[in-house]
Amino acid sequence: MTESKKDEFNRLRWHSRRGMLELDVLLIPFVEEAYPNLPEDDQARYRKLLDREDPELFQWFMQHGEPDDPDLKRIVQIILDRVQPD
């Protein structure tokens, strides 16, 4: 991994720390374990997800609602599927 890729990954890991335990236990392991293996489109969706506010993310991950944006809906489902396999 190049230095710029390492820097980018470290920034993503830092932005995945949300300060809300429920989000941290989902996002930090996801970015460390699953993100590197995602297709580029899904990696872009994850980066887009990190721009959203914590209460909105919490609502989606607790399944009290879902994103209107199809890209965000897809990445939320990928993360949920990882922790709640069929």
pLDDT at position 4 is 85
**pLDDT digits 0-9 by tens, 14-28:** 999 998 999 999 999
Distance of CA 52 to the CA centre of its chain: 10
Measured CA to CA in angstroms, residue 55 lies from 15, 49, 52, 63 at distances of: 15, 13, 9, 12
Over the chain, what is the mean pLDDT? Answer: 94
The mean per-residue pLDDT over the stretch 82-86 comes to 79
Q: Extract the tokens encoding 4.
A: 């710029």
Q: The domain 17-83: what is its CATH number?
A: 1.10.150.250
Between 84 and 75, where is the model more confident?
A: 75
pTM of the predicted model as reported, rounded to 2 decimal places: 0.91
Residues present in the chain in total = 86
